[in-house]
């Protein structure tokens, strides 16, 4: 790279080994970002990176504070700043209603979806406050479940509602430091996680029936994240909802 060329902004993406995280990572690399890929297993991260010289794979369990610290130390060690965090790591949690869920399953879902997002945001904010120029942007991956949940998804639904509170708190607490935060809520992007939730066999409806629902390409969800990430520091997309056209979300089915 020639010295007069301005290097790309640095983005940290959790859950980068599959699904939306993988699609966002690949799009950001294609658009000139320097991307730190985080996930529990190294092999899928390396598959996402596909040998790209601006990609750094860092195995990380977001529920472990020391892992998260190591992740951001690696990002700063490699590129000396963090401009964007895409807080994307998440699990679907158990299929269980509020009276059925096992405490261990609840705790495990909260640990990844909520506490993991907090730990990564905390590390990102600390880095963004100290770097020069100061500031950065955090994008939290919520879900359509933050607006309109499915039956028997209590742990997933509650964590995704909580992400909205985390998003607003980061936005307020970061205001004096040039740190902005927004939330993207994605409905029925075609991923393996959607198949787990029931996209394949038909998704559970509020009346207890199952029906096949429309999906849309995960690359389009990635483009929406890129739109949020690429806003100038003077603007912030606080909330973005992108769904498969015609999915039973608005109205009554």
**Tens-place pLDDT, residues 98-119:** 999 999 999 999 999 999 999 9
Over the stretch 116-152, which tens digit does the pLDDT of each residue have? 999 999 999 999 999 999 999 999 999 999 999 999 9
Kindly report the number of other CB atoms within 10 A of residue 59's CB atom: 17
Instruction: Pick the catalytic residue from 156, 158, 184, 221.
Output: 156
User: CA 134 to CA 124: how far, in whole Å?
Assistant: 12
Q: How far lies 229's CA from each of 12, 87, 181, 240, 252, in Å?
A: 11, 12, 10, 12, 33
pLDDT for 7 = 77
pLDDT for 253 = 74
CA 133 from chain centre, in angstroms, equals 24
156 is catalytic: yes
Residue 3 pLDDT exceeds 50: no
Q: Counting beta carbons within 10 angstroms of the beta carbon of residue 66, is it exposed (0 to 12), middle (13 to 18) or buried (19 or more)?
A: exposed
Over the stretch 193-246, which tens digit does the pLDDT of each residue have? 766 655 557 888 999 999 989 999 999 999 999 999 999 999 999 999 999 999
User: CA 42 to CA 51: how far, in whole Å?
Assistant: 13
* Cα–Cα nearest to 140, from 227, 240, 30, 29: 240
**Beta strands, E only, 49-116:** 55-59, 84-87
**Averaged confidence pLDDT in the chain:** 94
Over the stretch 10-39, which tens digit does the pLDDT of each residue have? 999 999 999 999 999 999 999 999 999 999
**CB distance 111 to 103 below 8 Å:** no
pLDDT for 2 = 36
pLDDT for 4 = 41
Under the banding of pLDDT at 50, 70 and 90, the label for residue 192 is confident
User: CA 5 to CA 107: how far, in whole Å?
Assistant: 47
């Amino acid at each position: 790279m020639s010295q007069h060329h301005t290097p790309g902004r640095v983005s940290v993406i959790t859950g980068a080994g599959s699904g939306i995280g993988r699609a966002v990572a690949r799009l950001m690399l294609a658009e000139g970002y320097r991307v730190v890929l985080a996930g529990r297993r190294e092999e899928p991260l390396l598959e996402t990176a596909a040998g790209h010289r601006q990609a750094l794979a860092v195995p990380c369990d977001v529920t472990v504070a020391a892992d998260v610290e190591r992740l951001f130390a690696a990002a700063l060690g490699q590129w000396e700043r963090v401009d964007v965090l895409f807080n994307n790591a998440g699990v679907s949690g158990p299929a269980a209603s509020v009276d059925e869920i096992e405490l261990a399953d609840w705790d495990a879902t909260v640990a990844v979806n909520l506490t993991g997002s907090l730990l990564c945001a905390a590390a990102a904010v600390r880095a963004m406050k100290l770097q020069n120029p100061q500031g950065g942007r955090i994008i939290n991956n919520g879900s359509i479940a933050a607006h309109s949940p499915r039956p028997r998804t209590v742990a997933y639904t509650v964590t995704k509602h909580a992400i909205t509170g985390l998003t607003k708190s980061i936005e307020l607490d970061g205001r004096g430091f040039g740190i902005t935060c927004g939330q993207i809520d994605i409905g029925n992007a075609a991923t393996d996680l959607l198949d787990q939730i029931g996209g394949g066999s038909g998704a559970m409806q509020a009346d207890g029936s199952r029906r096949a629902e429309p999906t849309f390409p995960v690359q389009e969800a990635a483009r929406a994240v890129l739109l949020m990430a690429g806003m100038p520091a003077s603007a912030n997309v606080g909330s973005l909802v992108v769904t498969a056209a015609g999915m039973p979300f608005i109205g009554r089915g």
